[in-house]
Amino acid sequence: RVIGDQRLTYEELLTVMTQVEAILNSRPLCALSSDPNDFEPLTPGHFLIFRPLTAPPERDFTAVNINRLSRWQLIQRIQQDLWKRWRQEFLHTLQQRTKWLLPATEVTPGTVVIIHQDNIPPRQWPLGRITALYPGHDAVHRVADVQTASGVIRRPLAKLCPLPSQ
């Protein structure tokens, strides 16, 4: 669905599949250490090459008409569409919250989370560790203080994605 009706050569398809592999192997699984000041996540890339797989951000081609793109730009657009779909499908499963009819297992201080930010691509979303939770008027936690590499920030729980292993 991401590629649509585009026809790719073998080399282009191989490039796209390699980028998809890097995207999937760069997703954070859990915290690398129990140190509260360490924000390096363990990724599948650590098992493959003993370090995270990272890629520099590319120019955004999602707003450009497909027939105006060069072949390299088309591959970049496919990668960006994949990131968009990954963000919409996978990250939303991490963020699912149910209606507060029954007490649910919530995040607790010390939980490692991905901090969802609308203005940057998902691969650049920072990781943080929850340090404090603040309840709303109905005693349900709605806001958290999150320790990041650059300091402590306050975010709504709707913008925090606990890592799958948490």
Q: Which amino acid is at 58?
A: E
Residue 98, burial from CB neighbour count under 10 angstroms (0-12, 13-18, 19+): exposed
If you search the block for the tokens 């009706």, which residue do you land on?
5
Q: How confident is the model at residue 97 (pLDDT cuts 50, 70, 90)?
A: low
Same domain, 84 and 135: no
Question: Domain limits at 129?
Answer: 112-162
Global pTM value: 0.57
**Residue 47 within any structural domain of the chain:** yes
Structural domain contains residue 32? yes
SS3 letters for 66-84?
A: HHHCCHHHHHHHHHHHHHH
Burial class (CB in 10 A: 0-12, 13-18, 19+), 139: exposed
pLDDT at 132: 93
Q: Looking at mean pLDDT, say which of 9-18, 94-103, 145-154 comes out highest.
A: 145-154
CB under 8 Å to 138, separation ≥6 — which residues?
Answer: 100
Per DSSP, 88 falls in state I
Residue 30, both tokens: 């859990």
Position 106 in a domain: no
Q: How far apart are CA 28 and CA 20, in angstroms?
A: 15
Q: Based on the domain organization, do 124 and 87 belong to the same domain?
A: no
**Residue 136 and residue 75 share a domain:** no
% pLDDT > 70, the chain: 69
pLDDT of 100 over the 60 cut: no
* Residues 71 and 116 grouped into a single domain: no
pLDDT in tens, 74-83: 777 787 787 7
Is 66 in the same domain as 22? Answer: yes
Please state the separation of Cα 108 from the chain's center in Å: 20
